[in-house]
Amino acid sequence: MPPVDMPTEIHIGTRNAFKQSRQYVYLWNHTLNIFVCDQTTADGFHGEKMVIVIADSASGQWYVAVEGAMTAHGFVGRRAAFRSQEEFWSAGWHDWQVNRSNDSGEPDWDTQDDSQLSAESRVPLGTVTVALDDQLRQLALTD
């Protein structure tokens, strides 16, 4: 599979989040090969970050925004916050599922209620790209 050109900066949020300047700003971390956001959800802990990683499940491949801590050894995830199967790095609107569980246990991706949202991805003009290969596996966290 050919490499995917990923922007090194992506802003993701709802229409209201952008109006209030509360969108999530993800920056590409060249050392860890992940997108890192300094902001978390209301369920995040002080000092935590949010990163986007790949997770495989019975329903396919997902891009998952995970809250957790940066350590000397890399990122340690604590709680999945959002997930999408869409190319979130492309400018435009994308559907995301929201983890209904606010603790660090198994995520609750129940889609029967208001746990889905549409969020816009914006890529600032002049943002450089990084080529990711191996079907974006560089986004996958490994132990």
Amino acid present at 52:
I
Cβ(90)–Cβ(74) below 8 Å? no
- Whether residue 140 has pLDDT greater than 60: no
> What is the pLDDT at residue 135?
46
Q: What is the pLDDT at residue 5?
A: 87
Q: Which residues pair with 95 in a beta bridge?
A: 118
Q: Distance between CA atoms of 80 and 108, rounded to whole angstroms?
A: 9
* Domain ranges for the chain: 4-139
Query: Hey, what are 45's tokens?
Result: 């802990």
Query: How high is the pLDDT of residue 121?
Result: 98
Q: What is the pTM of this model?
A: 0.88
Q: What is the chain's mean pLDDT, rounded? A: 87
Give the pLDDT confidence score for residue 1 in this predicted structure. 58
